[in-house]
């Protein structure tokens, strides 16, 4: 049986992977977006999902 801390860690990992996946898709689907803009958006999204 998993502890509460392990469950929280697993959920956090899923959130982070989801944010990274969405950023990847955004870059893949928008040829005009810059790496800098993708990184800025990624940082904002990661900060938001951790709150």
- Which sequence spans correspond to the domains of the chain? 2-49
**pTM: predicted TM-score of the whole model, two decimal places:** 0.72
Task: Please report, for the chain, how many H helices and E strands are present, in that order.
Answer: 2, 0
3-50 pLDDT, tens digit each: 777 777 778 888 889 999 999 999 999 999 999 999 999 999 988 886
Q: Give the Cα-Cα-Cα angle 7, 10, 15 (nearest 5 degrees).
A: 125
């Amino acid at each position: 049986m998993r502890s509460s801390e392990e469950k929280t860690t697993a959920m956090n990992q899923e959130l982070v992977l989801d944010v990274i996946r969405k950023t990847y898709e955004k870059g893949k689907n928008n040829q005009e977006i810059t790496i800098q803009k993708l990184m800025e958006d990624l940082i904002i999204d990661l900060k938001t999902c951790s709150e």
